[in-house]
Structure 1
């Protein structure tokens, strides 16, 4: 049952990378077909990211008020419809608007998947399950560009959006059949704007939540800096072919998946907090390695290993920081999950423009942003977290295996 749930929720979590990466190979074709410019085609990507961020702020509170299933099914229906509409967009500006709608709808899957995990699991079991989700959703950055390229061999760019629509319909059917409601009526909270804003305020002023949310945001920004800068650095400056670059990109994505599973195994012996600290330190060391290789103008043997660790370290940061951020917000998991995603994308979205400001003639701008964001992730975690825990703080994370799949075991003696 856990494997089936991980497959379904992992598919919902993969909406973002699938919808972004699958149509990247079609950019030149879209530019020619819609008689537009490269910058306007890239605006369709920005519109999706903005919609994905803002949509989480809407669907999170909705799922706290009406349960997880109905908002999720509504979002999946909207995603499938928006994807089909993208396939028949007559102009690039229409496509921009439809991509925004697609992003808002996709946010339902992303935010509700996290909230559902918080409904079902507590303790290290929650961090382990987030690691399982990353194993599934981590396939998307590897497979999506390859799938998009293969689709374009047989059809034109609208075919990519038709495939995304089919993906949305498949998840809609699977969710309707397999996903039970995880938030009982007695734990729901009325959908009132004033109350929602107050809830956001309470979550946003919880230092424990903010410490873990900002650490996620900064290390995600380091990865976005790698994504934005590595095509130019590795291909233009180091002479990799597009095929060789895709292999490097895929290898780094595999590293992320491997680290998530190592993290899941290590949670048997170590706490999520300890493994999160290890992941943040690895990210800082990797960022420093990238910066050193860039400043000293060293070759690929010195640049690629720390790049690999920049991406792979997220496998120890994201599942543990997410579990710790949501641990004390069970009754408002949807709202907390929404704010977590919003912070992640707001901070992460800074990376690409900062890399671009330095131009594409050097690897130093990319390396500076990666190193700076990695360091900021560790510093924010160390400085923002409370120095003294309130009563009950991290209580859920001291329970080893409390899972709502069966009888709840008696609580263990606190250490």
Structure 2
């Protein structure tokens, strides 16, 4: 594994780096949260059903997963900036095209393109952090980054609801296009290259499988990746199931739902900032395992109370579990990327593909098992945190020899 060096530091201030990477990684949340409440309006305008419009969300998740496998190798071969510029441009063009789409079929294809472009910022951002920081500093910085990222799910549904009511759903995608243009300009004029030519790798396509398999044999990479990615599926379950659970089962209004969504996002931001304190008291691996265990307990609690008529009783364990997701993600990402060595771009590809691939499956499962209760969502959250906790427990009890390549 590549060891941290004394001169590893960000080429620009941490604040500028967090703002640029945060805006790039916000493509996903804004592209999802801003248009969710507009499904009925989109369906009416395009002359189709809400189910067909919902599929544009599933295809977006799929595109985000697929894009992860493309940009990692490109970022290790050509540096970080050029793939980011290409991805931002694709996202901007696709977003503007969605605003002019004539039918739901075209919208579905453009949403796929939008996701393929937007995924660049998420994956390459992790590699940039790996370029600039060692393990402990990267965990600190990812926490700062999540403060910026966390603003997206707070702002997006509120801005989206206002835009939908005031200007219509097509304006949402015009704004996303402008956001893509802004990110392109930020990468072009603010973000320096963090991977110098001497550290780049030109790998023949036929050797990519060998690199990916090599990473998947590293226990120090596989364990935090599997645990963090499965735990993150709790958030996908929430995104898919919370509109029905809160508005239909508990009867909250569309406006109240937006505020509850925003409050949960604020809770995630606030708790994420505690990571700095925790990392002064314990190593990232210890914080990762402890927060995951608490999230699992919260998921059990949530399922025990999901049939209650009290919204408050339901929201307490739900909000607690969601608030821990950024802590789990920050420390899990730092651990996985620290074990990647010079394969940071490829490692980020695998991490993101697994995360969004599992998230797509969980999101679809919540829809397939939809009923008149909140149970599909709460069981999916329990399954996500339960599997992640199982991975950590097995890692603790199995000898290192059982999984060669561990890099703890």
TM-score of the two chains, using structure 2 as the length reference: 0.92
Indicate yes or no: 2:407 matched with 1:393.
yes
Distance 1:262 1:177 in 2: 33
Instruction: Give me the CA root mean square deviation.
Output: 1.8
Distance 1:240 1:17 in 2: 23
Q: How does 1:8-407 map to 2 (within 5 A)?
A: 8-294=20-306, 297=308, 299-384=310-395, 387-388=399-400, 393-394=407-408
Give a deviation string over 1:63-100, Cα, whole Å, max 9, x none: 00010011111111111111111111111101111110
Superposed displacement of residue 349, structure 1: 2.0
* 239-248 vs 176-185, which moves further: 239-248
Distance 1:187 1:392 in 2: 24
Q: What is residue 6 of structure 2 aligned with on the other side?
A: none
Superposed displacement of residue 391, structure 1: 9.5
Distance 1:275 1:121 in 2: 19
Question: Is contact 1:62–1:191 with CA below 8 Å preserved after alignment?
Answer: no
Q: What secondary structure, in the 3-state scheme, does the structure 1 residue paired with 2:306 have? A: helix
Distance 1:235 1:44 in 2: 21
Distance 2:169 2:118 in 1: 20
Give a deviation string over 1:238-288, Cα, whole Å, max 9, x none: 222222222222111111111110012321221101110111011111101
Q: What secondary structure, in the 3-state scheme, does the structure 1 residue paired with 2:273 have? A: helix
Distance 1:74 1:349 in 2: 24
Gaps of 5+ in 1: 395-415
Give a deviation string over 1:296-328, Cα, whole Å, max 9, x none: x35223211100111101122000000000102
Give a deviation string over 1:206-245, Cα, whole Å, max 9, x none: 2221211111122111222222222222222222222222
* 152-161 vs 327-336, which moves further: 152-161
Q: What secondary structure, in the 3-state scheme, does the structure 2 residue paired with 1:125 have? A: helix
Distance 1:344 1:62 in 2: 19
Distance 1:242 1:268 in 2: 41
Runs of 4 or more above 3 Å deviation: 384-394
Distance 2:245 2:164 in 1: 26
TM-score of the two chains, using structure 1 as the length reference: 0.91
Distance 1:95 1:359 in 2: 25
Distance 2:392 2:299 in 1: 17
Aligned residue pairs: how many?
Answer: 393
Distance 1:121 1:52 in 2: 25
